[in-house]
Structure 1
Amino acid sequence: MYNLHNHTFRCGHATGQDEDYVLEAIKNGYTVMGFSDHAPYAFPNGHKSGYRISLDDTQNYVSSVRALQEKYKSIIDIKLGFELEYFPDLFDKEIEYLKSFKYDYLILGQHYTDNEYEPYAKYSGTATDSVAVLDKYISQVIMGAKTGLFTYIAHPDLINFTGDRQVYINKMTYFIERLKQLDIPLEFNFLGFTTKRNYPNRDFWGIVAKAGNRVLIGLDAHNPNVYSDKENLEKAKEYLNSFGITPMELKDLRLVNREGRYEQF
C-alpha cells in the first residue's frame, strides 16, 4: 500500500491539513506516502498560475512535510516531492530552484502544452480534435521523460483528443512504446477514475497492456478521505486487471532523487 501522488491546500484546489492525509494513510494501511503538490514556477511577464503552490508558500510546504516525516517516521515512510510539467523554456531553471529544497522525487504531470504562460498554450484536459496539440503533448512528455529526473508520469492519458480514434491509437502507440523504451512507469490515475473524467482512456490502457509498460496507481489525493476509498481502489485494480495489467509493487519502484540517481525503497 503506497501512494506518491498527494496534494495539499496550497495548490488552491485541495482540502484538509497535511497531517490529516498522513493519519488517513496510516489508518488505511499505507506504508509509504509522498506529498507531490503542484510545483511553483517563476513565470515571466507576471503570469500567475491558478492551480499550483505559490513561490511564497514553497518553504512552508517543505517544512510541513519534513516535520511530518520526523513525527511519523516509526509508522510510515513519508517522501517530499513535486508534480510539475516539462516547460522547455523554464525547465532547467526550475530544476535548480527545486533542488534547493532537497526533494525526494518528482512526478511529470503535463497539464499544459508549450509553456503555460504563452497565449497559445493549451490545457491538456480540454477537448481538442487538433492533431498538432496531440503531437505537442506527446513530444513534451517524451522530452520530460528523457531528462531522467522523474520517478513516473502522472495521468499520461490526460490529453483529451476527440478527433479520429485511429489517429489517437496510432499516435499513442508510438508514445507508449517510446516511454517503454525509456523505462519510466505510467500512472493509472485514481482521481480520473473515480470522478469519471476523460481519463482513464480505454484505448490508451489497451495499448499499455500490449506494450508491457510498468504501471502504478496514483491516488492523486485532493482530500484525506481518498485514502479510505477502498471500494473504488478495488474497482480500479479490477479495471486494470481486465487488460491483464498488475500494478507494480513498491519494491520494484525506484525514486529518482534530486541528483538524478535512483534510490530503492
Structure 2
Amino acid sequence: MKFDLHTHHFRCGHADGNIRDYIEAGIQSGLQVIGISDHTPYFGSDEEQAFPRIAMGKSELRHYVEEVLALKEEYAGKIDVLLGIESDYFPIHAELYRSTLGQYPFDYIIGSVHHTEDVSIFNKTRWNGLSDARKVEVKESYYALIRQSARSGMFQILGHIDAMKGNYPPFSDIIADQAIDETLQVIAESNVAIEINTSGKTKLSGGWYPSDAILERAHHYGVKVTFGSDAHKPQRVADELDDVRTRLQEIGFTEWVYFKQKQMQIVPF
C-alpha cells in the first residue's frame, strides 16, 4: 500500500494548486491513500489571517474541511482521501488549538514546531553570532518543544523533527544527542508517529527529515514512522516514497503507519 499524508494547497498562501490537483496527482502516483494536511490558521491572534503567506484565514477552516470531505466522497473507490491538517505547536496557545481543532472530524493532525524563541526555525540569520554553547541551547530548546508536543495528546504525527537544519545545514553538527534520544523515547512512549518528510530537498540542507542517524535511533526506541512528501506543488506528491520505504527496510523497520479517524493503521512493508 502506498500513501502520502502531508500535502498543502493554495489556502495556506505559499503552495500551488487546489485540493483536487493533489488528489489527482496521488492517483497518478499509484497511491491508495492521500492525506490533505494544509496549515491551520494562526489562532493566537485576533486577526482573521495574521500571516497570509504562511497559514489560511480562520474563516477558511470550515470551507477547507467541507471541501476535503466532499472530495473524499467523490473519490471513494478510486483513492481514500483523508482529512488531515498540520498544526503549529505553541505551548501558550495549545488549549486554544486543541479546542478549535477538536470541533472537526480530522483523521489525523500533524504537530509541527516551526518556531522557537519566537523566531522561525527556517530563519538562518538567527544563528548569526551565536556561541557554540548558545547553539546547543537553541537546539535543545527545539527538541524540548517537540517533546511537549508529543506529550500533549493533540497529535497523531509529528512533522519534520529535524527541519531546523533546512536553511542551516550545520544544525546537524550541533551536538545534542541526549536531547534527541530523550525526545525519541518520549515519542515512542506517547505512541505518536514521526514522518519521513522528503521536502528537505527544497531547502539548503537537501535530503529528508529526519536524517538517517535519527531514523536509526528512532528504530532503536521503537518509534512508529509514516510518510509525507510535504508537497506544496502537485508534482511532488509521493516524491521519493519508494526510496524512503527501501531505506527504512535497510535500517530495520518492518512497517509504517497512517491514521484514519485518529486510529493507527499499520502497513507492513
Q: What TM bracket, shorter-length normalisation?
A: 0.7 to 0.9
What is the TM-score normalised by the length of structure 2? 0.81
**Partner secondary structure for residue 38 of structure 1:** coil
Bigger Cα displacement from structure 2, 7-16 vs 204-213: 204-213
| Deviation string, structure 1 residues 96-139 (Cα, Å, up to 9, x no partner) | 222233322211111112xxxxxx41222345452222222212
Map of 2:136 onto structure 1: 131
Query: Quick one: structure 1 residues 245 and 11, their matched pair in 2 at CA, closer, same or farther if it must change by over 3 Å?
Result: same
Once residues 2 and 201 of structure 1 are traced to their aligned partners in structure 2, the CA distance between those partners, rounded to angstroms, is: 21
Map of 1:149 onto structure 2: 154
- 1:16-95 map, 5 Å: 16-44=17-45, 46=47, 48-49=50-51, 50-95=53-98
Q: How many aligned residue pairs are there?
A: 250
- Whether contact under 8 Å (2:7, 2:237) holds in the other structure is no
The amino acid of 2:31's aligned partner reads Y
The match for 1:201 among 211, 214, 227 is 211
Q: 1:218, CA displacement in angstroms?
A: 1.0
Note if 1:244 corresponds to 2:246. no
- 1:114-129 map, 5 Å: 120-127=117-124, 128=127
- What runs of 5+ residues in structure 1 fail to find an aligned partner? 114-119
**Partner secondary structure for residue 16 of structure 1:** coil
**Partner secondary structure for residue 218 of structure 2:** helix
The match for 1:167 among 170, 175, 187 is 175
Once residues 189 and 164 of structure 1 are traced to their aligned partners in structure 2, the CA distance between those partners, rounded to angstroms, is: 16
Query: Quick one: structure 1 residues 171 and 264, their matched pair in 2 at CA, closer, same or farther if it must change by over 3 Å?
Result: closer
Once residues 227 and 28 of structure 2 are traced to their aligned partners in structure 1, the CA distance between those partners, rounded to angstroms, is: 19
- Whether contact under 8 Å (2:6, 2:229) holds in the other structure is yes
**Partner secondary structure for residue 59 of structure 2:** helix
Map of 2:199 onto structure 1: 191
The amino acid of 2:122's aligned partner reads G
Map of 1:15 onto structure 2: 16
Q: Percent identity?
A: 28
- Whether contact under 8 Å (2:140, 2:176) holds in the other structure is no
Q: 1:9, CA displacement in angstroms?
A: 0.8
Q: 1:188, CA displacement in angstroms?
A: 0.8
Query: Quick one: structure 1 residues 164 and 153, their matched pair in 2 at CA, closer, same or farther if it must change by over 3 Å?
Result: closer
Once residues 89 and 169 of structure 1 are traced to their aligned partners in structure 2, the CA distance between those partners, rounded to angstroms, is: 27
- What runs of 5+ residues in structure 2 fail to find an aligned partner? none
Q: 1:194, CA displacement in angstroms?
A: 6.3
- Whether contact under 8 Å (1:215, 1:246) holds in the other structure is no
After superposition, the CA RMSD in angstroms is 2.7
Q: 1:45, CA displacement in angstroms?
A: 6.7
Query: Quick one: structure 1 residues 241 and 15, their matched pair in 2 at CA, closer, same or farther if it must change by over 3 Å?
Result: same
Note if 1:215 corresponds to 2:225. yes
Map of 1:116 onto structure 2: none
**Partner secondary structure for residue 39 of structure 1:** coil
